[in-house]
Amino acid sequence: MDKLAPSLLSWYRQMGRSLPWRDDPSPYHVLLSETMLQQTRVAAVLSRYHEILKVAPTIEDLASLKEEEMLKLWEGLGYYSRAKNLRKAAIQIQESAMFPDDYEGLRKLPGVGEYTAKALLAIAFHKKAVAVDGNLERVYSRLEMSEKEGPSLRKEAEAYFLEALGDEDPSPFNQALMDIGELVCLPNGAPRCGECPLQALCKAHEAGKETEFPKKKSRSAKKITLLQVFILHFEGKTVFRIRPEKGLLSSLAEFPNASGESPEEALSFLGLKAGPLSFLGHGSHAFTHLRWEMDWHEGELLLPPPEGYLLLGKEEAKGLPIPSAFSFGKRKAGIL
């Protein structure tokens, strides 16, 4: 156990990833990058991180954005509640004129869960904490051949890594563990044990049982919803609407859609009256627990859309925060 931190940190000095938020791990940069990294791959975050900082170089700049500006800035990253919470957290920090630097204070920020709070404590404030996610659970379960799963695995992993941290700086220690979890101790039967600085301490490697850990959880299948989605035109403009304030993709814009097998029934459910429809194709979009199977149709409205819908020209529509689930329609309607 005593050897874990020195081996890990010496590996990190040579092999750790150079990531833009690591150059200046200020609380704002860590909050922004950790929020972006929730549910989005590093490669996708890399291309957008500077873009967001260009518009909002400080947390005060972020707090001053309107919600629709924030959502537009976040477009394509998905899971838009992150963007809304990030903006609310920035406003809260600006109003209190201080960035909280303890666990309880950080957890009061909208969108800051246990993992992000501990990552902030360790990386931005150099306080003793270890942020454990699924990657670190996997590393730990292989190191110790732990049979645990769920919250008890997380708890054990955290206690183990906190002990291993000792008096070292928690900032590089956490970032090194993140790199091991993402680059070396890979899931699905592919750990790169030959490149791993923890190999000599790893019980699963010694037993040749790396791929048997962590123990598999039974996963429930995603719910599938069949949606009829419409690109509808009226007098040269296209119809959109804003999703409800609560729930999936809340407050974002979308093409009119309704669940069901028949486009005619879906249209009548939406209160829209259109001429003949052309079928454009089928697409699907997966969320964490849900998959949309989407049939796309295009047509002309016979009557103007009722209240609650937006009728916009192409240039205006380009300013709408339309989530990637509707990318197919954006391409077809020429508003990318």
Catalytic residues: 34
Q: Which residues contact 48 (CB under 8 A, 6 or more apart)?
A: 36, 76, 77
Q: Which of 64, 199, 251, 327 binds ligand SF4 (CB under 6 A)?
A: 199
Q: Which of 31, 196, 274, 317 binds ligand SF4 (CB under 6 A)?
A: 196
Provide, rounded to whole angstroms, the least separation between the CB of residue 194 and ligand SF4. 8
Residue 202 found at the interface with ligand SF4 (CB under 6 A): yes
> Residue 192: what residue type?
R
Q: Strand 278-286 relative to strand 253-254: parallel, antiparallel, unpaired?
A: unpaired
Residue 322 found at the interface with ligand SF4 (CB under 6 A): no
Residue 214 found at the interface with ligand SF4 (CB under 6 A): no
Q: Which of 111, 13, 112, 32 is nearest to 73 (CA)?
A: 32
Choice between 4 and 83, CB closer to ligand SF4: 4
CA dihedral 290, 52, 330, 221 (to 10 degrees): -10
Stretch that binds ligand SF4, among 48-56, 138-146, 214-222, 325-333 (CB under 6 A): 138-146
Q: Which of 184, 231, 270, 294 binds ligand SF4 (CB under 6 A)?
A: 184
Distances 207 to 82, 144, 176, 189, 202 between C-alpha atoms, Å: 41, 11, 25, 15, 9
Residue 316 host element (H or E): helix 314-318
Residue 193 found at the interface with ligand SF4 (CB under 6 A): yes
Provide, rounded to whole angstroms, the least separation between the CB of residue 219 and ligand SF4. 22
Q: How many residues bind ligand SF4 (CB under 6 A)?
A: 15
Residue 204 found at the interface with ligand SF4 (CB under 6 A): yes
Q: What are the φ and ψ backbone dihedral angles of 127, each rounded to 5 degrees?
A: -100, 155
Provide, rounded to whole angstroms, the least separation between the CB of residue 33 and ligand SF4. 24
Residue 15 found at the interface with ligand SF4 (CB under 6 A): no
Choice between 139 and 335, CB closer to ligand SF4: 139
Residue 10 host element (H or E): helix 4-15
Q: Strand 290-300 relative to strand 223-234: parallel, antiparallel, unpaired?
A: parallel
Residue 117 found at the interface with ligand SF4 (CB under 6 A): no
How far is Cα 280 from Cα 328, in angstroms, rounded to an integer? 10
- Take residue 42 and report the two structure tokens written for it: 């590093």
Q: Which of 25, 27, 111, 191 binds ligand SF4 (CB under 6 A)?
A: 191
Choice between 131 and 139, CB closer to ligand SF4: 139
Choice between 87 and 205, CB closer to ligand SF4: 205
Provide, rounded to whole angstroms, the least separation between the CB of residue 241 and ligand SF4. 48
Cα R_g (the chain), whole angstroms: 24
Residue position matching structure tokens 């002990």: 163
Residue 123 host element (H or E): none
CB 209 within 8 A of CB 198: no
Alpha helices in 108-149 (DSSP H): 114-119, 134-144
Choice between 15 and 280, CB closer to ligand SF4: 15
Residue 142 found at the interface with ligand SF4 (CB under 6 A): yes
Provide, rounded to whole angstroms, the least separation between the CB of residue 218 and ligand SF4. 23
Q: Which of 63, 153, 165, 198 binds ligand SF4 (CB under 6 A)?
A: 198
- Take residue 85 and report the two structure tokens written for it: 């919470």
**Residues in the site for ligand SF4, rule: CB under 6 A?**
139, 142-143, 184-185, 191-193, 196, 198-199, 202, 204-205, 210
